[in-house]
Structure 1
C-alpha cells in the first residue's frame, strides 16, 4: 500500500483526494491546504465525503514531509506562480518523495520543457532519488494517448488535429480560467494573458513537438493562432455574466507546420454557453464538450472522448478525469527510476491497475 499526501483541494484536488480515500491500494496520510478556511478540517469534509478520515489538513509542508509519504499528488494551481511551485515540488522530490500532479502543464511533455523549469526539478529528482509525473485530460490524455491510438489505425497520415471543444459556462473558475482567457473583456482591452505573444506556443507547442517526435516528422516551425468572439447579447452562466460586446468564446491553436501547411494541430474551441460563437465547431448533439482527435489519412479516423457522470456536470467530470490521470500513475511512478516522467514512459496497462474493487 502506498502512503499518499494530497496537495490542494481545489477543482481537481478534491476529486483526487476522494479517489485516494476510496482506493484500497492507497493510504491517505496527509493533506495540504493553503487557505485558512480549509486548514484544520478533516480530509473527508474537504472532498464531500461523510465518514471522517482522521487526516487533518495543514499548510505546513515540512510536517507533510515528516510523514514520509511514498507520493504526493500535487494539484495546486501552478501556472500563475511557477517559481513558487517549482520550489515546492523540488523540496518534496529532494526529500525522496515521488510527485504526481496536474499542475505546471508544460511538464506534460517534460522532454520539451524549457531549462528554467526542467533543470531544477531534474536536480531535485536526482538528489532525492524520486520521480515526477504531470498529466491531465487536456493537456495530457488527448495529445499523448488518444492521438496515438488514432494514428495506429491508419497506413498513412497527412495531418493530425487534437481538439478540445467545450462549453465552459458551468465551470466555476473565473478566478483563473475566466481571467486568463479574458472572458468578459472588450475588444479594446489588452490581450488576456493566455493569448499574449508566445503563450499559446509555450503551453501547447510542446504537445505539437512531442507528437512530431513520435512520428519522426521534422517541422519547419510551430506557430500559434487566436480568434476571439464577442457577444452581441448578454450571456449569463455559472462562470460569470458577459455583457453585450464582451468576449464570450475563444478559438486558438498551436500548429506544427511543414512546407507551409499545418500537419499537427492542437486546438481549443471554448465558449460560455451554446449561445456563444454558434458558427464555430460544436460538440456532438446533446453534449457540452468533447475531446477529439482527427487523423486525415488512409483511412480518415475521428476519435471522440465524451465524459459524463450521474451527478457531476461535464466540466466537473473533466476535473475528475484529470485527477485520474495522476492518481492512477502513483504506483508505477513510485517504482520508476528517478527523473521526470512522460506519459509514453508508462506502459498503458500500468494506468488501469487496481481500478475495479
Structure 2
C-alpha cells in the first residue's frame, strides 16, 4: 500500500520530512501546506532544497483536505490546536513532531483533539527523538531486566549552531542568569517532557505520585553571537540542565534530563557529551549510549547541512509510524498503543 501524505509546513523539521517522504517508496507526497505567504505557489521540492516535485505549496486548507490524504505530517514548531482539530475532524490522520506525546500538556485542548479524532474517525500520534523515540528505546531496553529500580534518560548536546531561537528562548536561553522567573520559564518551555515521563510510566504499568521539574543554569561570560541574528549577552543563560522526575512509592523512579549548552565561555564550565544515555537501574543494570554519525557519502558545504542531518532523527520517528497510525483505532495514540513500528520503504537495495 502507498500512503498519500500532505506535508504541513516546510521549516527545519518539515524540510527533512519532505526529503524522507519523497525518498520512501511507500509514501506519496500529494500536498504541502505553506505557513508563510511567500511560500504559497512555490514547488515543495524547491522549498526543501530538492528538484521540483510538481507539488505546489498552498495555504488553502480545504483544498489540502479535499485531496483525501491518508495522513498529514504535521511539523510546525508549536501545535495549533485549531488546525489539528480541523484536520482530524475531516477524517485525516496526523503524525506530528510539534511537542505532542499524549497531549496532557495541552490541558482542556486535549479534549478538543480527542473529540475531533472521534468525530473524524482519525488518529493522532506524536514523536520526535526526545521526547518520543528515546522513551520507546528506554522501555524496550527495560525488557531485559527482571527488576527495575529506576529509568533515566540523559540528552546532552552543544546547540551552538542550531538556528531556532523561537524554540530555545522559551526554554530559558538568553534570560539574565538571576531572572526571578527562570525556573518557571524553563518548566513551561520544557513541559512536553512531563508527557515523556508519563509515557514510560504507562509502559511500566506504574501510577506516579508526582512529576516535578528542576533546572540549573550556566551563563556566558561574554556576548555570544548565534545563528538567526541572535546574541546572548554576557551574564545571560547559555547552558540549561533540566530534569523531569517521576516519583512513586516515595522515591524517584523515572528521570528525563536535558543538558544543552552554547559557546565556549560558560560559567560554570560544563562537560557536555553528544548524544543520549539510557540507564535502566535494576537486575541487571543496563546502560546504553546512542550517538550519531554522518554516513560515508555525506558531503557538507554549510552548517545547515549538518543541522539537516541531525534533524533526521527528529523527523523520522513520526514518519516511520504512518502505516501503523493509519491502521490504528481513532484517538490519541502513543508508542504504548501502536505495534512495533517497522521502517518500511527506506532500505537501499541498489
- Regarding TM over 0.5, the answer is yes
Please state whether the residue corresponding to 1:34 is helix, strand or coil.
coil
* Counterpart Cα distance in 1 of 2:119 and 2:77: 25
Query: Residues 29 and 216 of structure 1: is their aligned pair in 2 closer, same or farther, counting only changes over 3 Å?
Result: closer
- The answer on whether the counterparts of 1:200 and 1:254 sit within 8 Å (CA) in structure 2 is no
Query: Residues 216 and 333 of structure 1: is their aligned pair in 2 closer, same or farther, counting only changes over 3 Å?
Result: closer
Normalised by the length of structure 1, the TM-score is 0.87
* Counterpart Cα distance in 2 of 1:296 and 1:274: 33
Query: Residues 139 and 43 of structure 1: is their aligned pair in 2 closer, same or farther, counting only changes over 3 Å?
Result: same
Please state whether the residue corresponding to 1:91 is helix, strand or coil.
helix
Query: Residues 14 and 201 of structure 1: is their aligned pair in 2 closer, same or farther, counting only changes over 3 Å?
Result: closer
- The answer on whether the counterparts of 1:142 and 1:292 sit within 8 Å (CA) in structure 2 is no
Please state whether the residue corresponding to 2:234 is helix, strand or coil.
coil
In the alignment, what sits opposite 1:108? Answer: 101
- The answer on whether the counterparts of 1:182 and 1:191 sit within 8 Å (CA) in structure 2 is no
- The answer on whether the counterparts of 2:105 and 2:192 sit within 8 Å (CA) in structure 1 is no
Residue 63 of structure 2 corresponds to residue 63 of structure 1 = yes
Please state whether the residue corresponding to 1:320 is helix, strand or coil.
helix
1:139 paired residue among 118, 126, 131: 131
Map 1:327-338 onto structure 2 (within 5 A).
Answer: 327-338=319-330
Structure 1 residue ranges (4+ consecutive) displaced by more than 4 angstroms after TM superposition: 112-115, 312-315
Query: Residues 297 and 280 of structure 1: is their aligned pair in 2 closer, same or farther, counting only changes over 3 Å?
Result: farther
In the alignment, what sits opposite 1:352? Answer: 343
- The answer on whether the counterparts of 1:201 and 1:222 sit within 8 Å (CA) in structure 2 is no
* Counterpart Cα distance in 1 of 2:77 and 2:253: 32
Normalised by the length of structure 2, the TM-score is 0.89
Map 1:272-291 onto structure 2 (within 5 A).
Answer: 272-276=262-266, 279-283=269-273, 289-291=274-276
In the alignment, what sits opposite 1:209? Answer: 198
Per-residue deviation, residues 294-327 of structure 1 (Å, max 9, x unmatched): 1222232211121232346664333211111111
Per-residue deviation, residues 192-243 of structure 1 (Å, max 9, x unmatched): 5x84385268422222233223223343321110111112234344364333
- Aligned residue pairs: how many? 339
In the alignment, what sits opposite 1:159? Answer: 150
* Counterpart Cα distance in 1 of 2:198 and 2:185: 20
Where does structure 1 lack aligned partners over 5 or more consecutive residues? 284-288
Residue 170 of structure 2 corresponds to residue 180 of structure 1 = yes
* Counterpart Cα distance in 2 of 1:60 and 1:148: 40
Moved more, 59-68 or 198-207: 198-207
- The answer on whether the counterparts of 2:187 and 2:214 sit within 8 Å (CA) in structure 1 is no
* Counterpart Cα distance in 1 of 2:332 and 2:197: 19
Q: RMSD of the alignment, in Å?
A: 2.3
Please state whether the residue corresponding to 1:15 is helix, strand or coil.
helix
Moved more, 23-32 or 180-189: 180-189
